[in-house]
Amino acid sequence: MTAAARPAQDQRHSVQGARMVVEALEREGVTHLFGYPGGAIMPVYDALTASSQLKHILVRHEQAAALAADAYGRVSGRPGVCIATSGPGATNLVTGIANAFLDSVPMVAITGQVASPLMGTDAFQEVDIFGITLPIVKHSFIVRSTADIPRVFAEAFHIARSGRPGPVLIDLPKDIGVMSAAPEPFDPPVFAHEPMDEAKIAAANALIAEARQPILYFGGGIAIARAERALRDFARRSGIPSVATLKGLGGVPTDEPSFLGMLGMHGTRAANVAIDHCDLLICVGARFDDRATGKLDSFAPRARVIHFDADEAEIGKLRRAEIGIAGDISAMLDALDARPDCDPWRDQCAAQKRLWAPRYDAPGNGIYAPALLKRLSEAAGNDAIFTCDVGQHQMWVAQHCRFTRPQAHLTSAGLGTMGYGVPAGIGALLADPAATVVTVSGDGSFMMNVQELATVRRYRLPLKIVLIDNSQLGMVRQWQELFFDENFSEIDLSDNPDFAEVAHSFGIEAFTIDHRSEVEGAIQRLLATPGPILCHVRIDPRDNVWPLVPPNSSNVQMMEKGW
């Protein structure tokens, strides 16, 4: 927090609460907020019109406001801001708040509330959003006094972005926003910097020096901490091969020879086998999630563990670490100077990566989604950002697209929110207008927030949408095929609309392809079109995601499919 927060403390004249909200957002450097107006939050919307700094983005559903704010926070590194009215407006934010909480994304959610005297009376559009969201926020505030608004907002933004980031809720009763008061003096929050544990760093260096088959396992904490420079420097000077979680992709460029790919349920064979054989596992900004580890007691069974994380609660939560250190990830990585004797191991891992590289020469003339996505990411270049929905296409993006920075891959990892892709594309474009932003969606996910095509059109956002359509809930169908004796239940989406015509009805350019000979031209058209465009891609509904680790299995027990 800078001294810019001070003026509200020194100006003791009376100010309307809603105006204080706008001034607080301006002091925090907010430029965009995503929302939808309604009765209880109307005083704030009234005050917004007087701000030249704040640009409000009118979404068509409050869930999209929270998801767009989530993506904005991931790309910018600053808290994304979403705003909604009381009752259903507030509850519609809940999925997006939970999404940010599980992926540790900085966010401030502002909800209107019924007037203070009516709270607890079951008034029109009253709901206890404070209570509803308690398990999925870092902190919550109900503003009880107009004079406290500057302090509450300063604390909320500080909490959202400090330590392990996450969402913070501010519930604002309507009368508090209407009344005027002199702002109450307060001291701006300050960031506390804990000293690094030098003894543990020395012990970590000793373990690294002794290792002969070490693996660097990193996750979403790298993107959160903006620690990719430190991670890459450590990987280069140590010579240790690396693997990533779904959220960690891009921390090390995916085409680095010593990067073995994503690990886990849909990870690469090279990554999963290397983890199984390693003698030292250096975990950085990851939490031993079940989708990454498979059967936990068989994960890295031969390895000692060093665990670095911003959140001390993660260390030892699922896997005991010989050395665990909580703190600044970049500083800890920079302090590691050991160089293990692991050249033969690194060469072996690189050879396995080449041996088990994916194939793209699928039979037939239909479109093979992994091949399309690989080519698209190559053509889009290093400055592109991919936002992804949830399902088979999500795994194909993770497996086959190339990423040179973690902010280039935005996906709902912890919550698995269908409908994330288009709102996330909106947030990403507003956070980084110079980037080429590509949303990859599936026919199931796309329909969850299809109304946001109106937002794309309204703000003339040049979002490139690739809609992969197998007329199925593909991932559910794949599991029913493999693990439920092909008892296909409620996965048929053959009554989908003509998605190109849907886009046209929103005023967005669109076209459909279904033959592999059309892929190259489609990619060129997507990337050359200056405005928003949707490419509807029909694929074989029988295509599955491979490899796949079955439930309750070790990561090396991978199911694969040959042609």
Residue 343, Cβ density class (10 Å: 0-12 exposed, 13-18 middle, ≥19 buried): exposed
Residue 475 bears catalytic tag: yes
The amino acid that residue 101 corresponds to is F
* Annotated catalytic residue within 16, 119, 138, 174: 174
By CB atoms closer than 10 A (0-12, 13-18, 19+), residue 363 is: exposed
Identified catalytic residue from 124, 484, 524, 561: 124
| Residue of 107, 119, 475, 558 marked catalytic | 475
Query: What are the beta bridge partners of residue 233?
Result: none
What are the DSSP calls for 466-518, one per residue? Answer: EEEE-SB-HHHHHHHHHHSTT---S-B-TT---HHHHHHHTT-EEEEE-SGGG
Which 8-state DSSP code applies to residue 403? -
Distance of alpha carbon 275 from alpha carbon 551, whole angstroms: 18
Cβ–Cβ under 8 Å, residues 35 and 82 = yes
Tokens of 557: 């027990």
**Is 153 known to be catalytic?**
no
Task: Determine the Cα–Cα distance for residues 454 and 64; give it in Å rounded to an integer.
Answer: 12
Label the pairing between strands 242-244 and 214-218. parallel
Place of tokens 């890295």: 300
Asked if 483 is an active-site residue, the reply is: no
Which of these is catalytic: 20, 23, 28, 62?
Answer: 62
Beta strands in 25-105 (DSSP E): 32-35, 55-58, 80-84
Closest by Cα among 191, 223, 222 to 71: 223
In this structure, what token pair is assigned to residue 511?
């076209």
Spatial distance between the Cα atoms of 55 and 66, rounded to a whole number of angstroms = 16
Tokens coding 392: 């088979």
One-letter amino acid for residue 16 of the chain: Q
Q: How far apart are CA 353 and CA 270, in angstroms?
A: 5
Active site residue 62: yes
Q: Tokens 């086959």, residue?
A: 400
Query: 26, 42, 125, 256: which is the annotated catalytic residue?
Result: 125
d(CA 512, CA 443) in angstroms, rounded, equals 13
Q: Is 55 labeled as catalytic in the residue annotation?
A: no
Helix (H), strand (E) counts: the chain: 24, 20
Taking the C-alpha atoms of residue 297 and residue 308, their distance in angstroms, rounded to an integer, is 20
Question: What does residue 169 show for φ and ψ, rounded to 5 degrees?
Answer: -105, 135
Q: Which residues have a catalytic role annotated?
A: 62, 124-125, 174, 475
